[in-house]
Amino acid sequence: LKPAAHALFKKLKDEELELLVQVVESRGAWESGCVLAPWGDPRGVKQGLPPQVLLCRLFRWPDLHQSHELKHLCYCAGGQGVCGDLAVLCCNPHHFSRLAVPETPPPPYVKASCGPSWPDEPQHPSTQLCSPLPDTSLSWSTVKDGCWCTLAYWEYRTRVGRLYAVHEASVNVFCELPWGSGFCLAQLPAAYRSCAVRRARGKIGRGLLLSREPGGVWAYNRSEHPIFVSSPTLSPPDACRLSVLKVLPGYSAKVFDYEWAGDRRGWHLPGEGPCDPHSIRISFAKGWGPCYSRQFITSCPCWLEVLLNQPR
């Protein structure tokens, strides 16, 4: 990749090279600007890699091969040319994520079935079992105010802190983020936290980016550990239980599809009870479901509930 990289660097302006150095050294800790490169392959280079694939392969994913494995993040302005200029495109390696796909084959756990089952006992006497339905404090007035989703943070079966309404098109959910704003989990107090919860919270770090995009909602894993996601639209309509998707660091996935959700009022899953068809559940660092030892998300130490408002 050395000749291709040198050929690309020669085409970048000095300020773009400086920005690229800052982005690579910070490992994408802040939402930086676009690094614009001329469209087309560097002349005389056998690899013939597009600029964005070249830099992502050089600085983030050595096993990357094709541009269709990548997705622009929602805050990138140079995905398909800037201001109508199709001669340049963004090649900032931290303006991209890789697309997550289901694990094949799954881990060896086969404890779950479609038959009746019950969640584990609460981890602490003061905890309460959560309801899978949206919180009643989410009124229709929030929809009129432009709130497209509300976030609830849980530790096992206890909701911690208040609901967080999201009005912007995207939101960061994190414990540690040098620059930026959003839903900071580190600021939420709790009366009791077990060692398992504290360990899991230590792995959240930069957390994730949730974005509302045409047709659905995307989740980008900004942390250094996997996140695990489930929603009604990630599972086939006739599934006996929700599928759980593992999203590795640096990867993103479309976690909710508005068209697939349709106008269904609710689902009832054997062993889990009713499920709101307009909700997403995300566990930090710990998986659950038929492929894992934890069968229910309420057995996960730190997780996020995304309550979506139906588009009008």
Residues 169 and 286 in one domain: yes
Residues 155 and 303 in one domain: yes
Residues 93 and 165 in one domain: no
Residues 166 and 81 in one domain: no
First to last CA, the chain: 49
Instruction: Tell me the C-alpha distance between 72 and 77, whole Å.
Output: 9
- Residue 117 maps to a domain: no
Mean pLDDT across the chain: 79
- What range does the domain containing 89 cover? 1-99
Residue 121's CB is within 10 A of a number of other CB atoms, namely 8
CB distance 258 to 75 below 8 Å:
no
Residues 179 and 40 in one domain: no
Instruction: Tell me the C-alpha distance between 274 and 131, whole Å.
Output: 9
CATH at residue 60: 3.90.520.10
Residues 279 and 200 in one domain: yes
Task: Tell whether omega for the bond before 270 is within 30 degrees of 0, i.e. cis.
Answer: no
CB distance 34 to 92 below 8 Å:
yes
Residues 153 and 95 in one domain: no
Residues 71 and 187 in one domain: no
Instruction: Tell me the C-alpha distance between 253 and 98, whole Å.
Output: 8
pLDDT in the model for residue 312: 57
Total count of domains within the chain: 2
pLDDT in the model for residue 190: 81
pLDDT in the model for residue 60: 95
Residues 171 and 301 in one domain: yes
pLDDT in the model for residue 48: 73
Cβ neighbours for 57, distance < 8 A, ≥ 6 positions apart: 1, 49, 63, 64
pLDDT in the model for residue 83: 44
Q: What is the pTM of this model?
A: 0.80
Tokens of 124: 């602490």
Which residues of the chain have a pLDDT value below 70? 39-47, 79-86, 103-145, 237-241, 262-275, 311-312
Task: Kindly give the interhelix angle for 2-11 and 51-59, rounded to the nearest 10 degrees.
Answer: 120
